[in-house]
Amino acid sequence: MEFSTAIARFSALDKKGQLRFLAQFGFNLTIAARGTFVPQADGVHAPERLRLISECMHRIFDHMAALMDMSERRRPDETIVLIMLDHTDQQLRSQAAWAFEEALGRGAAV
């Protein structure tokens, strides 16, 4: 999905829809985080990707709190969508695109 289309789809959601979408996107992104772990062990085989996912989640949760409070900290829709989708790590970029599409399909879509 093109960034402009993703931004338009996210921006078309009302506040409740955006919160539901962000919660579902975050839940979906935990699947990407699980993929960084060494199977059946305690290690992490992709620590940089895990850090990128953690930072993305940190910003999403901050945005959700600001959205709930109608705070000035709220990021513009364009910024939060780019935070979700614009990753230099190609595997994370693909996983984030899936997480975004899946969240739209879970009832947050308009």
Q: What is the pLDDT of residue 108?
A: 55
pLDDT in tens, 60-93: 999 999 999 988 889 999 999 999 999 999 999 9
Which residue has 């990128």 as its token pair? 52
% of the chain exceeding 70 in pLDDT: 96
What is the reported pLDDT for 1? Answer: 81
| pTM (2 d.p.) | 0.90
Would you kindly state where each structural domain of the chain is located, as residue ranges? 13-108
Q: Is 49:56 a contact under the CB 8 Å cutoff?
A: no
